[in-house]
Amino acid sequence: MLRRLRYRFDNAMARGTPAMIGVIAVAMLVLAVLNAITLLVLAPDTVRKEGAASVLWRSALRVLNPPGMLQRDYIPADPPVGVAYRIVSTVITIIGILLLSTLIGVLGAGIQRKLSKLRKGRSVVVESDHTVILGWSEQVHMIISELVKANRNQKYACVTVLAPKDKVQMEDAVRERVGDTAPTRVVCRTGDPTRISDIRLVNPREARSIIVLPPEHDDADIAVIKCLLAVTSGALAEASDGGRPVPHVVTSIVDDHNLPAALIAGGAHTHVVSAQCFIARLLVQTSLQSGLSIVYTELLEFDGDEIYMSAQPQLAGQTFGEAVYTFRTSTVIGLRRLDGQILLNPPADTRILRTDQIVAISEDDDTVVPSDEIPAITFEAIVTDEASDPRSERVLLLGWNARTPEAVNQLAKLAPKGSRLDIVADLPDLDDRVEKLRTRLPQLELGLLAADPADRVVLEGVDLAAYQHVMVVGDAGAIDKSATDSRTLMTLLHLRDLATQHGHGFSVVTEMADDRNRTLAQAAHADDFILSDNLLSLRMAQTSENPELNRLFQELFDPEGCQIRLRPAQEYVRPHATITFYTVVEAALRRDQIAIGYRLARHAQRKPDYGIVVNPDKATLLSLTGGDKVIVLDGRC
């Protein structure tokens, strides 16, 4: 019998702090009853006359606060109290002290365990309409920073992060790298993003959007696909069963070959960005057009002018060409149909339907406001001559990685006819790789030099004066990113020194594998662009806020879709003429283009915008010179 009681006692105590408190409470209750019986049996008549309820209350006080009750002399001295009563009371008081001490210890240990659990980040997040980030990498800081900017006009916003890292370490890293996040709260939880039970900690089914970050290791795509499967079979399934709007998921894939698998794993509500294609296209586009990187950064950041979709039913019946002049401080670039179709730079005579939304570049979503101002257009300043044909380009590519074939493919589509690409890389099978590219891309002239691009002697032997653009890439698939970036940085320093010594004017686009090394190679001017995962992070943050922007960005970065170009200003308006930007807009419309900004040559070396102005006030007067550029959206989408 005793063994069974001990066994049950051990099981009860093993259940944790609540069970232990319950056992102690029962023991204290039993002790209070025993103390009451003692008072009623052994105490003087003056005490017993108070009644059983009063005696029981005194007993409870003696058990709960033994030291205090010892100091209170509530038993009268006359008549004298018996020895038996004193002995029993003393024993009960001592036992009460032991039980109270045990209770304090149990409560303290329970609180400590609870704090330890909270520190581990294993409690469930009770939030709604929040953004969930699954995973941890260097991208998380940029994404959180952009989400904070996007939520700055909201009174209450929340971003939750689930990653296999210590909760306190994640919070410290966010505070150090991002800074003040008010009014957005950042809540971190520790867990495996590929496990459904851990994903539920961040309450994804009530989230507004979910961002899946690729981890920083070789099997990043496999981890992303597993996470998408966990989200789809867990969080999204629960949301759809409960009748709630299913949150959209945004992620990126390193290897383009894994894109179909990721789309199947994520389902219809998932938007997957191919990092390989995106970075390759950025590498080529920003290399061929000086200042384009500033324009892309402006459109992708929440801190400047972004792309919004706004319902403007009062424009129903107007043509797209008329709507372009309707907004003074916003730039209309397209239409979104009711079925989700996005038309970028449609024909000027396209009729706007009542159900259409305006796609516009604006400072904020509430600044897309029509203006009653009559456009001031100086028609005599508009140039009507045909635009000059672009000249052929010579491009030098230093290095090789997995994205190089895609970059060469993009260059073949974007570069003017007759352009040439020379590749300098230290690879044993470089001849075979370049020969495959020659066979697939006969329109682009390809040259090669099997040598180390980080060797200064090799760079001195290359005719750098013959090139307008230089692209420097490292081995993006290398395990040691620091060593790869060190070689890339050394190549960049050699190029800058040779350009200074010999007066070369080529543009340089450098690709960094680790974003932390970007600050070591800060751009010297607008043509010296450091390409990293920052723009990929910006695109993912924008898509998380508005998933429809993903299709729009695909069109902008696709060489066969609409393109943002920087064209000579003298092709649109006469040099030195004092005009408004309305005049530039009219000149661009006549060429089936949309003017979205300009670049002033006299400010081309002035940070931080390097003379780039996106979405200017159309009524502002300006005078464009021969070296200035007009930023236009060209092509039909």
415 sits in which H/E element: none
CB 236, CB 248: distance < 8 Å: no
243's torsion region: left (phi>0), alpha (psi -120 to 50) or beta? Answer: left
Residue 320 scores a pLDDT above 60: yes
Q: What is the pLDDT of residue 580?
A: 95
What's the mean pLDDT in 201-205?
A: 90
Q: What pLDDT, in 10s, does the model give residues 125-135?
A: 888 889 999 99
Indicate the residue type of 587.
A
Give the integer Cα–Cα distance in Å for 618 and 127.
43
Q: What is the pLDDT of residue 558?
A: 80
CB 446, CB 429: distance < 8 Å: no
Q: What is the pLDDT of residue 631?
A: 96
By the 10 Å C-beta count (0-12 exposed, 13-18 middle, 19+ buried), 210 is classed as buried
Give the integer Cα–Cα distance in Å for 494 and 492.
5
Q: What's the chain's average pLDDT? A: 83
Q: What pLDDT, in 10s, does the model give residues 511-563?
A: 877 766 666 666 555 566 777 778 889 999 999 999 989 888 888 888 777 88
Q: What is the pLDDT of residue 529?
A: 74
Give the integer Cα–Cα distance in Å for 145 and 541.
9
Q: What is the pLDDT of residue 303?
A: 82
CB 157, CB 185: distance < 8 Å: yes
Q: What is the pLDDT of residue 154?
A: 83
What's the mean pLDDT in 558-586?
A: 91
For the chain, give the percent of residues with pLDDT over 90: 38
User: Among the listed ranges 74-83, 279-288, 295-304, 366-375, which one has the minimum average pLDDT value?
Assistant: 74-83
Q: What pLDDT, in 10s, does the model give residues 34-51?
A: 766 666 666 666 655 666
Q: Return the axis-axis angle of helices 17-42 and 83-120, rounded to nearest 10°.
A: 170
Q: What is the pLDDT of residue 15?
A: 60
Residue 440 scores a pLDDT above 80: yes
3-state helix, strand, coil in the chain (%, to 5): 45, 20, 35
Sign of CA pseudo-dihedral 274, 509, 285, 459: negative
What's the mean pLDDT in 142-165?
A: 90
Q: What is the pLDDT of residue 71?
A: 45
User: Among the listed ranges 110-114, 428-432, 625-629, which one has the minimum average pLDDT value?
Assistant: 110-114
DSSP-assigned letter for residue 628: -
Residue 181 scores a pLDDT above 60: yes
What's the mean pLDDT in 468-488?
A: 76
Q: What is the pLDDT of residue 579?
A: 94
Q: What is the pLDDT of residue 374?
A: 87
Q: What pLDDT, in 10s, does the model give residues 57-77?
A: 666 666 666 555 444 444 444
Q: What is the DSSP string of 186-242?
A: EEEEES-TT-HHHHGGG-GGG-SEEEEPPPSSTTHHHHHHHHHHHIIIIIIHHHHHT
Give the integer Cα–Cα distance in Å for 636 and 345.
6
Q: What is the pLDDT of residue 75?
A: 47
Q: What is the pLDDT of residue 11?
A: 58
Residue 300 scores a pLDDT above 80: yes
Sign of CA pseudo-dihedral 308, 313, 314, 317: positive
